Amino acid sequence: MKLNYKLQGNKQPILLMHGLFGSLDNLNMLAKDLVVNYQTIQVDLRNHGQSPWSNIMNYQAMAEDIVELCHDLQLQNLILIGHSMGGKVALQLSQLIPQQIAKICVIDIAPVKYTQTINTPVIKALAQCIVQQLVDRKQIAEVMRQHGLSEPTILFLLKSFKHERWLFNADVIINQYDNICDWQIISACDITTLFIRGGNSNYITDKDYPAIFSQFPNAQIETVAGAGHNVHAEKTEQVLQHLYPWLAD
């Protein structure tokens, strides 16, 4: 699948991958700083942004899309940065093109299967909006409030509702949500990996450390105090303060 992407700068490439319901712009706050010293490639994953839609939505397929992009752009010595779902895609790529990857940074996700996440109410709200065929933004927002979504989350989602349609493939995401929460344990990978967790998030907890280090023994874990799941957006400077020494090492 040919993904939509934005490429800027030169030198060593950094490929940035967004989380569920997002788009390539979601990691702008990191890319605009990193592009000074690196080539940045921001990508819309399948079923998101301006990339094609597919009924298949799992980490093998999403990673294979990125492999095709890396081939087309002839990327080598590649640094991967992925948030949430995009982080799992980055980890899956370690199994497909390890020789092309220099380092991997994963933001607030662990290589484990999740059963309940903060996105579960979003999935339920979206399903209701689709069943009711809602196209009015105010009505959509009210349904989301009924499902307990916060105002920042509602605003984030509505950024992807334009011209009375969702920019992400809501039907497939709902149907494939179990695959998005899933993870198939991989054999130990020796690529240098940085996990950045939000101090207020439950996506990476102490109980996930054994799974992280068994699959990525060269992992380093850093916590950004006061940040939730969207660590890069809430505490951009602190994330960059962890990133730059790690990149230079």
In whole numbers, what is the pLDDT of the chain averaged over residues?
A: 96
Assigned token pair, 97:
């093109």
What per-residue confidence (pLDDT) applies to 246?
Answer: 97
What per-residue confidence (pLDDT) applies to 118?
Answer: 75
What per-residue confidence (pLDDT) applies to 176?
Answer: 95
What per-residue confidence (pLDDT) applies to 225?
Answer: 97
Residue 212 resides in a domain: yes
Q: List pLDDT tens digits, range 12-64.
A: 999 999 999 999 999 999 999 999 999 999 999 999 999 999 999 999 999 99
Q: List pLDDT tens digits, range 68-99.
A: 999 999 999 999 999 999 999 999 999 999 99
108 and 126 together in one domain:
no
Share of the chain above pLDDT 70, in %: 100
What per-residue confidence (pLDDT) applies to 119?
Answer: 85
9 and 93 together in one domain:
yes
Residue 166 resides in a domain: yes
**pLDDT at residue 116 is higher than 80:** no
> Residue 91 in contact with residue 64, Cβ under 8 Å?
no
Question: What is the number of structural domains in the chain?
Answer: 2
Poorest-pLDDT segment among 88-92, 112-116, 188-192: 112-116
168 and 205 together in one domain:
no
Which of 148, 175, 202 corresponds to the end of one domain? 175
124 and 169 together in one domain:
yes
**pLDDT at residue 117 is higher than 80:** no
Between 218 and 116, name the one with better pLDDT.
218
- Which active-site residues does the annotation give? 84, 229
> Which amino acid is present at 192?
T
Residue 180 resides in a domain: no
Share of the chain above pLDDT 90, in %: 96
Beta-carbon contacts of residue 194 (< 8 Å; ≥ 6 apart): 103, 104, 105, 106, 219, 220, 221, 222, 242, 243, 246
Residue 194 resides in a domain: yes
Residue 50 resides in a domain: yes
What per-residue confidence (pLDDT) applies to 220?
Answer: 97
101 and 198 together in one domain:
yes
What pTM was computed for the model? 0.95
Which of 128, 150, 175 corresponds to the end of one domain? 175
CATH number of the domain encompassing residue 47: 3.40.50.1820
What per-residue confidence (pLDDT) applies to 217?
Answer: 98
* Structural domain boundaries enclosing 71: 5-113+185-248
Q: List pLDDT tens digits, range 156-175.
A: 999 999 999 999 999 999 99
How far is CA 29 from each of CA 6, 35, 78, 97, rounded to the nearest angstrom?
14, 11, 20, 27
Residue 46 resides in a domain: yes
Sequence-ordered strand ranges (E) for the chain: 5-8, 13-17, 39-43, 78-83, 101-107, 161-162, 165-166, 192-198, 219-224
124 and 107 together in one domain:
no
21 and 93 together in one domain:
yes
40 and 71 together in one domain:
yes
Residue 195 resides in a domain: yes
145 and 189 together in one domain:
no
Residue 230 resides in a domain: yes
CA torsion, ordered 111, 233, 241, 198, to nearest 10 deg: -40
218 and 97 together in one domain:
yes
128 and 243 together in one domain:
no
52 and 97 together in one domain:
yes
What per-residue confidence (pLDDT) applies to 115?
Answer: 86
> Residue 201 in contact with residue 227, Cβ under 8 Å?
yes
Beta-carbon contacts of residue 53 (< 8 Å; ≥ 6 apart): 46, 47, 169, 172
